[in-house]
A and B are shown apart, each in its own frame.
Chain A
Amino acid sequence: MVKTMARNLDGRELLALALVWSAATLVTATFCWLFGDILWHGLSHISWTFLTAPPRNAGREGGIGPILVSTALILGVCLSVSVPIGVGTAILLAEFTTDASLFGRLTRRSLDVLSGVPSIVFGLFGNAFFCKTLGLGFSILSGGLTLACMVLPILIRSTEEGFRAVPTGYRLSAAALGLSRTTTLVHLLFPAAVPGLLVGLVLGVGRAIAETAALIFTSGYVDRMPESLLDSGRALSIHIFDLSMNVPGGDPNAYASTLVLVVLLLAINGTASWLAERWLHQRIVTV
């Protein structure tokens, strides 16, 4: 097989092969360089104190304890609102509407448009609606709800794809066995669609945790330990942005905070793919 491949490689194919390889190398090298740079500059500042202490002197000294707590709370609010709504909408789109129906097309189109909207627009919307109209002010709640609006399109579309990827045979067999639609959905389709949901979650969480523009006007800038969801709380990404762009001498702690953010992201991705594999495995064993 290798021989036939080698024989068939003419100049054009060699060029294509070289291009594909260099593109792949470039992408990998960029990531390695980026991560290496963050590790090199950030690792020496990471300590237990850094992770738990409050920031001092505009973030140049001290740690990121309250900021981690705020970030987790914002993410928690975002997920606890967006996952139920997202899964519900995805079920509706995938199981109860056809491709051709007007409602389905309209919903899908608006979700696609929403997922392309720049995050600053979500930020201004969140500021106008959650902070001012609903009177939540600068708060973790406002920030989480704004992020929920932002990640919903991604979450819905990939969960919907998850449902659509389940073979029609499952539904037909369930119907032939006389199972109700709810039973089919809960026991058969939902577990099969979980990988799609997890992909959506990982993408959504990734977008949410790295967000600055949507949060600066909603959850705000206060770096005190939050006492309730109605307190303003600074997210990790805003802290990094402020330290690197607004605070002279903030770079060392900006690097360290970035390292924490990247490690958090990698951990979330790892956990999600581990969960997905485990879930799939379990399902195959029990079915």
Chain B
Amino acid sequence: MNQCSLSFMLKKYAAPVALSMAALMCVPPSAGAQGTVADQLTGKLVITGSSTLAPLIAEIGKRFESLYPRVRIDVQSGGSSRGVADARQGLADIGMVSRAMKDDERDLSAFPIARDGVCPILHQENPVQALTDEQVIAIYTGKVTNWKEVGGTDAPITVVNKADGRSTLEVFLHYFKLKNVDIKAQVVIGDNEQGVKTVAGNRNAIGYVSIGTAEYDATHGVPIKLLPIGGVSASTESVQKGIFPLSRPLHIVTKTPPVGLAKAFIEYAQSKAVHDLIRQQYFVPLAD
């Protein structure tokens, strides 16, 4: 009986053991430490979520792939809510969330990789230079509907809001303590660049977008201007210094504490090696 089960076990396990031993012997002994690490990391990571983060993570992924040729990083966009949902359901290895984590998202492991500010934007020819927090709230809740009430010309205000589920919307609502149902918007948009284009095409519009995007466009001839918040000028510099009140961390999240490839990628995305990529996509690297 004993012998029988022993031989069964031998049969069952002999092949895998032999295989793994063969695999061990196949590892070239001459490979250096670096080479071994690069060879060990193989497989595919699926990353989904925030469209704001997607271009940045895709670029980081490309650089990571060039370091570890047997790794594939597939980045899919679709919004922060989707990043959370996909990571939770296991549809994605890593989710992208372009805001602070909420209380009911404590189950996920979150890793900040950069910061981004959100600021109101106006058309360049709008004479209004600054708005107080109360004025912004009054405009967005429909209590003020004409620019002359806040020191501008006699023209109706076009309020541009973000679509539900967008992190910029949530950052904006959180800072001004508003609810989305209170907002009386004439235009509802999705991505940041769309917000910039809507305001650039309408002299009487007010919108709010990612500071990085707005700063890039304003310095490249798009007729928009960035409004300060609470007296702090809206720029990536003030976000970097941590003095701009409307800012958000950009996170990548996993369902369980990451191991293996996911861990290596997250560590790389948090490292200094990608700070140039973060700046290239007009975000602010975290303090060193």
> Which of B51, B59, B62, B75 lies in contact with A246, CB distance below 8 A?
B51
Q: Who on chain B is nearest to A254 by CB?
A: B193
Instruction: Take A58-B58, A221-B54 as given contacts and tell me if A248 and B76 are in contact as well, using a CB distance cutoff of 8 Å.
Output: no
Per the 8 Å Cβ criterion, residues 215-273 of A in contact with B are 216-217, 220-224, 232, 242, 244-250
Please give the number of chain B residues whose Cβ is less than 8 angstroms from any Cβ of chain A in the complex: 31
Check B212–A248 contact: CB distance below 8 A.
yes
Per the 8 Å Cβ criterion, residues 33-73 of A in contact with B are 57-59
How far apart are the CA atoms of A223 and B61 in the complex, in Å? 11
Check B55–A247 contact: CB distance below 8 A.
yes
Q: Who on chain A is nearest to B280 by CB?
A: A57
Q: Who on chain A is nearest to B214 by CB?
A: A248
A138 contacts the other chain (Cβ, under 8 Å)?
yes
A105 contacts the other chain (Cβ, under 8 Å)?
no
B265 contacts the other chain (Cβ, under 8 Å)?
no
B77 surroundings in chain A (CB, below 8 A): 216, 221, 242, 246
B192 contacts the other chain (Cβ, under 8 Å)?
yes
Check A216–B78 contact: CB distance below 8 A.
yes
Q: Who on chain B is nearest to A131 by CB?
A: B91
Mask of B57-79 contacts with A, CB within 8 angstroms, 1/0:
01100100000000010111110
Q: Who on chain A is nearest to B91 by CB?
A: A132
Write the nearest CB–CB distance from B60 to chain A, whole angstroms: 11
How far apart are the CA atoms of A222 and B216 in the complex, in Å? 25
Instruction: Take A57-B59, A248-B213 as given contacts and tell me if A222 and B194 are in contact as well, using a CB distance cutoff of 8 Å.
Output: no
A221 surroundings in chain B (CB, below 8 A): 54, 58, 75-77
How far apart are the CA atoms of A132 and B92 in the complex, in Å? 12
Check B74–A249 contact: CB distance below 8 A.
no
How far apart are the CA atoms of A246 and B195 in the complex, in Å? 10
How far apart are the CA atoms of A132 and B282 in the complex, in Å? 34
Check A138–B46 contact: CB distance below 8 A.
yes
How far apart are the CA atoms of A18 and B51 in the complex, in Å? 48
B190 contacts the other chain (Cβ, under 8 Å)?
yes
How far apart are the CA atoms of A209 and B115 in the complex, in Å? 36
Check A232–B74 contact: CB distance below 8 A.
yes
B217 surroundings in chain A (CB, below 8 A): 248-249
B240 surroundings in chain A (CB, below 8 A): none
Please give the number of chain A residues whose Cβ is less than 8 angstroms from any Cβ of chain B in the complex: 22
Check B46–A245 contact: CB distance below 8 A.
no
B282 surroundings in chain A (CB, below 8 A): 248
A249 surroundings in chain B (CB, below 8 A): 216-217, 220
A59 surroundings in chain B (CB, below 8 A): 55
A216 surroundings in chain B (CB, below 8 A): 77-78
Write the nearest CB–CB distance from B269 to chain A, whole angstroms: 15
Q: Who on chain A is nearest to B215 by CB?
A: A248
How far apart are the CA atoms of A221 and B220 in the complex, in Å? 27
How far apart are the CA atoms of A287 and B185 in the complex, in Å? 65
Q: Who on chain B is nearest to A250 by CB?
A: B193
How far apart are the CA atoms of A58 and B59 in the complex, in Å? 7
How far apart are the CA atoms of A248 and B281 in the complex, in Å? 8
Check B220–A232 contact: CB distance below 8 A.
no
How far apart are the CA atoms of A126 and B193 in the complex, in Å? 28
A57 surroundings in chain B (CB, below 8 A): 59, 280
> Which of A132, A217, A223, A248 lies in contact with B58, CB distance below 8 A?
A223
Check B46–A246 contact: CB distance below 8 A.
no
B46 surroundings in chain A (CB, below 8 A): 137-138
Write the nearest CB–CB distance from B118 to chain A, whole angstroms: 14
B220 surroundings in chain A (CB, below 8 A): 249
How far apart are the CA atoms of A248 and B193 in the complex, in Å? 6
A binding-site residues for B, Cβ under 8 Å: 57-59, 132, 137-138, 216-217, 220-224, 232, 242, 244-250
Can you list 21 A-B pairs with a CB-CB distance of less than 8 A? A57-B280, A58-B281, A138-B46, A220-B76, A221-B54, A222-B75, A223-B58, A224-B62, A232-B74, A242-B54, A245-B191, A246-B51, A246-B52, A246-B191, A246-B192, A247-B55, A248-B196, A248-B217, A248-B282, A249-B216, A249-B217
Known: A245-B194, A250-B193. 7 other contacts (CB 8 A): A58-B58, A138-B46, A224-B72, A232-B74, A246-B51, A246-B77, A248-B216
